Chain A
Amino acid sequence: MIREFGLIDVMYLIAAARWTIALTAVAFAGSAVLGLALAILRILPIAPLRWFSATYIQLVQGTPLLVWLFLIFFGLPLAGISVNPWIAAAVAFSVYGSAFLGEIWRGALTSIARTQWEAGASLGLSLAEQLRYVIIPQSIRIAIPPTVGFLVQLIKNTSLAAVIGFVELTREGQLTAAGTYKPFAVYITVACIYFAMCFPLTQWSRSLERKLDVAR
C-alpha cells in the first residue's frame, strides 16, 4: 500500500531525530571519557602508556567506522555476547570518537608551554595536580572549537547506525521512503533536519574561534 508523503511523515522524521540526538549524546559522553584518558596517557612521561594510546588512536583512525559497527554488532554475538543495536552503536561510536577527541585534546594539552608544567612542579604540585589546576584549564579554551567541530561530524556519522537497524533519522527516512515511494522528498527533508541540528553548532564553533582568537 503506497501512501502519500505528508506532514505526519515529517513529524515522524522529526521524532526520529531525537534518537539521533540521543545516540550523539551518549557517543559524545563515551568519546569524551575515553578521549580524555587517551589524551592524558599520550602526554605522560611513561613510555608504554604513550605507545598504547598512540597505537589505539592510529588503529581506530585507520579503520572505517562502519567496520567497527559491524564488528561489534555481528562480531560480539559470535563470542557469546549478545548486543542490541543501541549498545552496539553506543560502543562503536565511543570507540571511534575517543580516537578523534583523544588526538584533538592531546594537541590542546601539548600546546601549553612546558614552562607552565615547570612552574607547577616547582611549587610542589604533583603531575595530576599540574594537569588539573594548570594545564587542563588553559587547554580547554584551545580545545573547544575543534571539539564542537567534531560534534558536528558525530551527528552526521550517527546516520551509519541505520545499517545495524538502529532507528534514528536516516533509518526512519529509509522506512518512510520505502512506504511512500517519494525518496527525493523524504531525503531532502532528512537532510534539512540534519542541517537544522548541525548549522547552529557550526556557527557557535565559528564564533568561539573568533572570540578565542581575539583573547590571545
Chain B
Amino acid sequence: MSLVEIQDVSKSYGTNQVLKGVSLDIAKGEVVAVIGRSGSGKSTLLRCVNGLEPVQAGTIRVNGVKVNDPATDLRRLRQEVGIVFQSFNLFPHLSVADNITLAPRVVKKQRPDEARAVAREVLARVGLEDKLDAYPAQLSGGQQQRVAIARSLAMRPKLMLFDEVTSALDPELTGEVLKVLESVAQEGMTMILVTHEMGFARRFGSRVVFMHEGRIHEEGQAAAVLAEPKTPELKTFLSAVLH
C-alpha cells in the first residue's frame, strides 16, 4: 500500500486554478523530488498533503487516512507528517531545545527530561548538539534550517515534506542542509521534496515529478528523467535551472 495517495486533486485560489487534477502515489521509503517553475503548483501540492491548504476536488490519503475530510483529526495526522519550510519558521522566542521539545511535550505529552533527551538525539543527527540552548537569532541560516529539520524529526514522523528548504540560504550554506537531507533519506524516511537542487534530486530522488501549469507533466525514475527529458517543457526548464 502506498504511504501517500493523491487522486485527481484540484485546487483554486478564487478563479486561479493552481492544481488541475494531480494524481501521485508514493510508497514507503521513497524520496520524491517535485520540480517545476515557480507558480507550477508544486509548493501548493506539498501544503495540501498535511492539510495546511484545503483542496476543492479529489482525495489525499496519508497512511490510509483521508486528509481532506472534515472528520479527520488533522492534529493526529500532522504528528505523522513533518514539514520543513523555506523560511525555517523556528519560534524566535524559544531556545533551540524548546523549539524542538514544544510539540513532543504539548502534543505527545512527553516528560520534559524525556523530550530533552529526544532533542539531544535529533540535534546530534543534524550535527548541532552544541546548540541546544542557543536561540534561533544566534544561528546562521543553515543552522536554523537544520534545527527546523531536527524539530520535525523529534515528532518521529512517517513522512517528511520539504518545501524548497535550501532556497532561502546563501549558496555556501546549502551544502550542510543537503547533507542532513541525505542522511535522513538514507535512514529510510519517506520524503517529498519541492526543490531546485537537481544534483540532489538525481543522487537521492528515487523519483522525479515535474509539474507544469498545475499538472504533473512528466515523471519517472530520477536519473532517467533528468538525463533524457521527454517533453519540451521539461527540457526548457532543465536548461534554465542547470545553466
User: How many whole Å from B90's CB to the nearest CB in chain A?
Assistant: 8
Which of B87, B92, B103 interacts with A123 by CB under 8 Å? B103
SS of A interface (majority): helix
Q: Does B93 contact A (CB under 8 A)?
A: yes
Q: Does A4 contact B (CB under 8 A)?
A: no
In the bound complex, what is the Cα–Cα distance between A115 and B83 (angstroms)? 12
Q: Does B102 contact A (CB under 8 A)?
A: yes
User: How many whole Å from B116's CB to the nearest CB in chain A?
Assistant: 16
Q: Does B196 contact A (CB under 8 A)?
A: no
User: How many whole Å from A131's CB to the nearest CB in chain B?
Assistant: 12
Contact A138 B92 (CB under 8 A): yes
Q: B residues 117-165 with Cβ under 8 Å of A?
A: 151-152, 155
Which of B89, B102, B106 interacts with A118 by CB under 8 Å? B89
Q: Mark B81-102, 1 if CB is under 8 A from A, else 0.
A: 1110101011111000000001
Q: Does B166 contact A (CB under 8 A)?
A: no
Q: Does A207 contact B (CB under 8 A)?
A: no
Which of B81, B93, B106 interacts with A138 by CB under 8 Å? B93
In the bound complex, what is the Cα–Cα distance between A122 and B81 (angstroms)? 8
Q: Does A163 contact B (CB under 8 A)?
A: no
Contact B52 A134 (CB under 8 A): no
Contact B107 A124 (CB under 8 A): yes
Contact A125 B107 (CB under 8 A): yes
Contact A133 B102 (CB under 8 A): yes
Q: Does B50 contact A (CB under 8 A)?
A: yes
Which of A116, A125, A137 interacts with B103 by CB under 8 Å? A125
Q: B residues 32-58 with Cβ under 8 Å of A?
A: 50, 52
Contact A124 B91 (CB under 8 A): no
SS of B interface (majority): mixed
Give how many A residues have a beta carbon under 8 Å from the other chain's beta carbons. Answer: 16
Which of A116, A122, A125, A133 interacts with B52 by CB under 8 Å? A122
Contact A124 B85 (CB under 8 A): no
User: How many whole Å from B178's CB to the nearest CB in chain A?
Assistant: 22
Which of A121, A124, A138 interacts with B155 by CB under 8 Å? A124
Instruction: Give the residues in chain A near B85, CB-CB below 8 Å.
Output: 115, 118-119
Contact B107 A121 (CB under 8 A): no
Contact B87 A124 (CB under 8 A): no
Contact B75 A126 (CB under 8 A): yes
Q: Mark A63-75, 1 if CB is under 8 A from B, else 0.
A: 0000000000000
Which of B90, B92, B103 interacts with A124 by CB under 8 Å? B103
In the bound complex, what is the Cα–Cα distance between A124 and B73 (angstroms)? 10
Q: Does B78 contact A (CB under 8 A)?
A: yes
Contact A133 B106 (CB under 8 A): yes
In the bound complex, what is the Cα–Cα distance between A138 and B89 (angstroms)? 13
Instruction: Give the residues in chain B near A129, CB-CB below 8 Å.
Output: 106-107
Q: A115-B87, A118-B85, A129-B106 are in contact. Are A123 and B93 (CB under 8 A)?
A: no
Binding site for B on A (CB under 8 A): 115-116, 118-126, 129, 133-134, 137-138
